[in-house]
Protein backbone atom coordinates (compact mmCIF):
# COMPACT_ATOMS: atom_id res chain seq x y z
CA UNK A 1 0.00 0.00 0.00
CA UNK A 2 2.84 2.35 0.88
CA UNK A 3 4.46 1.62 -2.49
CA UNK A 4 1.36 2.78 -4.38
CA UNK A 5 1.11 5.84 -2.15
CA UNK A 6 4.70 6.85 -2.92
CA UNK A 7 4.16 6.33 -6.66
CA UNK A 8 0.99 8.46 -6.57
CA UNK A 9 2.76 11.22 -4.64
CA UNK A 10 5.66 11.13 -7.09
CA UNK A 11 3.34 11.46 -10.09
CA UNK A 12 1.46 14.32 -8.46
CA UNK A 13 4.75 16.09 -7.69
CA UNK A 14 6.00 15.73 -11.29
CA UNK A 15 2.65 16.95 -12.62
CA UNK A 16 2.74 19.96 -10.29
CA UNK A 17 6.32 20.83 -11.29
CA UNK A 18 5.45 20.56 -15.00
CA UNK A 19 2.48 22.88 -14.48
CA UNK A 20 4.70 25.38 -12.67
CA UNK A 21 7.27 25.18 -15.49
CA UNK A 22 4.57 25.80 -18.07
CA UNK A 23 3.27 28.83 -16.19
CA UNK A 24 6.80 30.24 -15.75
CA UNK A 25 7.54 29.75 -19.45
CA UNK A 26 4.33 31.47 -20.56
CA UNK A 27 4.91 34.31 -18.07
CA UNK A 28 8.42 34.94 -19.46
CA UNK A 29 7.12 35.02 -23.04
CA UNK A 30 4.45 37.49 -21.96
CA UNK A 31 7.18 39.68 -20.40
CA UNK A 32 9.04 39.67 -23.71
CA UNK A 33 5.91 40.66 -25.61
CA UNK A 34 5.08 43.48 -23.18
CA UNK A 35 8.66 44.77 -23.35
CA UNK A 36 8.96 44.90 -27.13
CA UNK A 37 5.42 46.23 -27.56
CA UNK A 38 6.52 49.36 -25.73
CA UNK A 39 9.05 50.32 -28.42
CA UNK A 40 8.19 52.62 -31.31
CA UNK A 41 10.36 50.54 -33.65
CA UNK A 42 12.84 47.66 -33.59
CA UNK A 43 15.84 47.02 -35.86
CA UNK A 44 17.36 43.53 -35.73
CA UNK A 45 20.49 42.20 -37.39
CA UNK A 46 20.60 38.41 -37.26
CA UNK A 47 22.30 35.22 -38.42
CA UNK A 48 20.11 32.67 -40.21
CA UNK A 49 21.14 28.99 -40.31
CA UNK A 50 19.47 26.06 -42.02
CA UNK A 51 20.61 22.51 -41.28
CA UNK A 52 19.45 19.05 -42.40
CA UNK A 53 22.06 16.29 -42.21
CA UNK A 54 20.09 13.68 -44.16
CA UNK A 55 19.34 16.06 -47.02
CA UNK A 56 22.91 17.45 -46.86
CA UNK A 57 21.61 21.00 -46.38
CA UNK A 58 23.94 23.37 -44.57
CA UNK A 59 23.52 27.07 -45.22
CA UNK A 60 24.16 30.24 -43.29
CA UNK A 61 23.58 33.91 -44.06
CA UNK A 62 23.02 37.30 -42.44
CA UNK A 63 19.75 39.15 -42.47
CA UNK A 64 18.12 42.23 -41.04
CA UNK A 65 14.63 43.51 -40.39
CA UNK A 66 13.10 46.76 -39.17
CA UNK A 67 9.64 46.71 -37.61
CA UNK A 68 7.27 49.51 -36.66
CA UNK A 69 3.81 48.41 -35.62
CA UNK A 70 2.60 45.97 -38.29
CA UNK A 71 4.91 47.44 -40.92
CA UNK A 72 8.28 45.90 -41.69
CA UNK A 73 11.23 45.95 -44.07
CA UNK A 74 13.38 42.83 -44.21
CA UNK A 75 16.39 41.62 -46.16
CA UNK A 76 17.35 37.93 -46.37
CA UNK A 77 19.19 35.94 -49.06
CA UNK A 78 19.43 39.09 -51.14
CA UNK A 79 15.64 39.43 -51.30
CA UNK A 80 13.92 42.42 -49.74
CA UNK A 81 10.37 42.33 -48.45
CA UNK A 82 8.37 45.39 -47.49
CA UNK A 83 4.95 45.56 -45.85
CA UNK A 84 3.45 49.05 -45.77
CA UNK A 85 0.36 48.11 -43.77
CA UNK A 86 -1.63 47.22 -46.88
CA UNK A 87 0.49 45.49 -49.52
CA UNK A 88 3.49 43.13 -49.41
CA UNK A 89 6.30 43.97 -51.84
CA UNK A 90 8.90 41.30 -52.57
CA UNK A 91 11.92 42.77 -54.33
CA UNK A 92 14.46 40.47 -56.02
CA UNK A 93 17.36 42.56 -57.39
CA UNK A 94 19.05 39.56 -59.11
CA UNK A 95 15.93 39.03 -61.25
CA UNK A 96 15.06 42.73 -61.43
CA UNK A 97 11.60 41.74 -60.32
CA UNK A 98 9.02 43.05 -57.83
CA UNK A 99 5.92 41.12 -56.75
CA UNK A 100 3.06 43.10 -55.21
CA UNK A 101 0.30 41.27 -53.36
CA UNK A 102 -2.22 41.69 -50.57
CA UNK A 103 -1.22 40.57 -47.10
CA UNK A 104 -2.09 36.91 -46.65
CA UNK A 105 -4.70 36.00 -44.04
CA UNK A 106 -3.30 32.47 -43.89
CA UNK A 107 -2.37 31.75 -40.26
CA UNK A 108 0.52 29.57 -41.46
CA UNK A 109 2.16 32.46 -43.33
CA UNK A 110 5.09 33.64 -41.23
CA UNK A 111 5.97 37.34 -41.11
CA UNK A 112 8.53 39.23 -38.99
CA UNK A 113 5.79 40.67 -36.79
CA UNK A 114 4.62 37.16 -35.92
CA UNK A 115 7.96 36.58 -34.18
CA UNK A 116 6.45 38.50 -31.28
CA UNK A 117 2.97 36.96 -31.21
CA UNK A 118 3.03 33.42 -32.65
CA UNK A 119 3.52 31.86 -29.21
CA UNK A 120 0.24 33.21 -27.85
CA UNK A 121 -1.87 30.27 -28.96
CA UNK A 122 -1.56 26.76 -30.35
CA UNK A 123 1.40 25.65 -28.19
CA UNK A 124 2.25 23.99 -24.93
CA UNK A 125 5.11 25.55 -22.95
CA UNK A 126 7.92 24.23 -20.78
CA UNK A 127 10.89 25.71 -18.92
CA UNK A 128 14.16 24.62 -20.58
CA UNK A 129 17.89 25.15 -20.04
CA UNK A 130 19.70 28.28 -18.87
CA UNK A 131 22.85 29.19 -20.81
CA UNK A 132 25.65 31.64 -20.10
CA UNK A 133 26.51 33.40 -23.36
CA UNK A 134 29.43 35.79 -22.89
CA UNK A 135 28.15 36.81 -19.48
CA UNK A 136 24.50 37.00 -20.56
CA UNK A 137 21.97 34.68 -18.94
CA UNK A 138 19.88 33.17 -21.73
CA UNK A 139 16.80 31.28 -20.55
CA UNK A 140 15.25 28.88 -23.05
CA UNK A 141 11.54 28.17 -23.30
CA UNK A 142 10.29 25.19 -25.30
CA UNK A 143 7.12 25.45 -27.37
CA UNK A 144 5.44 22.35 -28.79
CA UNK A 145 2.60 22.80 -31.32
CA UNK A 146 -0.72 21.38 -30.22
CA UNK A 147 -1.69 20.60 -33.83
CA UNK A 148 -0.27 17.15 -34.57
CA UNK A 149 -0.47 17.80 -38.33
CA UNK A 150 2.08 20.62 -38.28
CA UNK A 151 5.53 20.04 -39.77
CA UNK A 152 7.13 21.65 -36.70
CA UNK A 153 8.35 19.33 -33.94
CA UNK A 154 9.20 22.04 -31.43
CA UNK A 155 10.62 25.55 -31.05
CA UNK A 156 13.19 26.77 -28.53
CA UNK A 157 13.24 30.47 -27.73
CA UNK A 158 16.29 31.84 -25.94
CA UNK A 159 15.53 34.99 -23.97
CA UNK A 160 17.95 37.38 -22.26
CA UNK A 161 16.81 37.31 -18.63
CA UNK A 162 17.90 40.92 -18.03
CA UNK A 163 16.73 42.76 -21.16
CA UNK A 164 13.80 40.41 -21.93
CA UNK A 165 14.85 40.49 -25.58
CA UNK A 166 14.86 37.44 -27.85
CA UNK A 167 18.41 36.18 -28.41
CA UNK A 168 17.80 32.98 -30.35
CA UNK A 169 14.99 30.99 -31.98
CA UNK A 170 15.60 27.33 -32.88
CA UNK A 171 12.89 25.57 -34.87
CA UNK A 172 13.16 21.80 -35.33
CA UNK A 173 11.02 20.17 -38.00
CA UNK A 174 9.70 16.62 -38.00
CA UNK A 175 11.82 15.99 -41.11
CA UNK A 176 15.01 16.78 -39.18
CA UNK A 177 15.45 20.31 -40.54
CA UNK A 178 16.73 22.78 -37.96
CA UNK A 179 16.34 26.51 -38.55
CA UNK A 180 18.19 28.87 -36.20
CA UNK A 181 17.92 32.64 -35.94
CA UNK A 182 20.55 34.26 -33.70
CA UNK A 183 20.22 37.96 -32.96
CA UNK A 184 23.50 39.84 -33.43
CA UNK A 185 22.12 43.28 -32.62
CA UNK A 186 18.77 44.48 -31.29
CA UNK A 187 18.21 48.22 -31.54
CA UNK A 188 15.09 50.07 -30.47
CA UNK A 189 13.48 53.46 -31.09
CA UNK A 190 15.85 54.40 -33.90
CA UNK A 191 15.32 57.52 -36.06
CA UNK A 192 13.66 56.14 -39.21
CA UNK A 193 13.05 57.78 -42.56
CA UNK A 194 9.40 58.75 -43.10
CA UNK A 195 9.52 56.87 -46.42
CA UNK A 196 11.16 53.69 -45.10
CA UNK A 197 7.93 51.70 -45.43
CA UNK A 198 6.81 53.38 -48.65
CA UNK A 199 7.21 51.56 -51.95
CA UNK A 200 8.24 53.78 -54.87
CA UNK A 201 6.92 51.86 -57.89
CA UNK A 202 8.10 54.53 -60.34
CA UNK A 203 11.70 54.19 -59.17
CA UNK A 204 11.76 50.46 -59.86
CA UNK A 205 10.06 50.90 -63.23
CA UNK A 206 12.69 53.46 -64.20
CA UNK A 207 15.38 50.95 -63.15
CA UNK A 208 13.89 48.36 -65.53
CA UNK A 209 12.26 46.09 -62.94
CA UNK A 210 9.43 43.82 -63.96
CA UNK A 211 6.40 44.56 -61.72
CA UNK A 212 4.05 41.64 -61.00
CA UNK A 213 0.75 42.48 -59.32
CA UNK A 214 -1.18 39.57 -57.81
> How confident is residue 195, by pLDDT bands cut at 50, 70 and 90?
very high
Q: How far apart are CA 76 and CA 63, in angstroms?
A: 5
Q: pLDDT per residue over 113-135, tens digit each?
A: 666 666 667 888 899 999 999 99
> Is pLDDT at 103 greater than 60 in this prediction?
yes
Sign of CA dihedral 193, 70, 42, 63: negative
> Is pLDDT at 16 greater than 70 in this prediction?
no
pTM of the model: 0.81
Q: How far apart are CA 124 and CA 53, in angstroms?
A: 27
Q: Where are the alpha helices (DSSP H) in the chain?
A: 2-37, 201-206
Amino acid sequence: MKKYLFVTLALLTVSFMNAQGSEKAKALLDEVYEKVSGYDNISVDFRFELRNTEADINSETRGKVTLQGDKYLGDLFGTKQLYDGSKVYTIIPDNEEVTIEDKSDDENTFTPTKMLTFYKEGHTYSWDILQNVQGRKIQYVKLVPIDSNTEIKHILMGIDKVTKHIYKIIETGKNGTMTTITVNSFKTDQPLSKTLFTFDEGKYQDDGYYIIKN
